[in-house]
Amino acid sequence: MAAMRTCLVAIVVALGFLFLEKPAVTAAASETTTGMSAEQRQEVESLLRRLNKTPLATIEVEIDV
């Protein structure tokens, strides 16, 4: 019984920390995206487009069993 109570207390404390942490994480994420200049956003979009291209060739592997 005491072990169950200890677990419940630990869960409640962990959830409390998560709820307190969430607004800080959300605020930091919004500051990061809004703090970028238009030039930086264009550069990021350009790099993402370059990464999102189809592969030039595929690799085929034959497995002999």
Task: Identify the domain containing residue 18 by its residue range.
Answer: 10-48
Domain annotation covers residue 5: no
Indicate the number of domains in the chain: 1
Domain annotation covers residue 41: yes
pLDDT at 17: 76
HSE-CB of 33 using CA atoms within 13 angstroms: 6
> Tens digit of pLDDT for each residue in 16-63?
777 776 665 555 555 555 667 888 888 888 888 888 877 677 777 788
Which residues make Cβ contacts (< 8 Å) with residue 36, sequence separation at least 6? 44
Domain annotation covers residue 60: no
Q: Of residues 6 and 27, which shows the higher confidence score?
A: 6
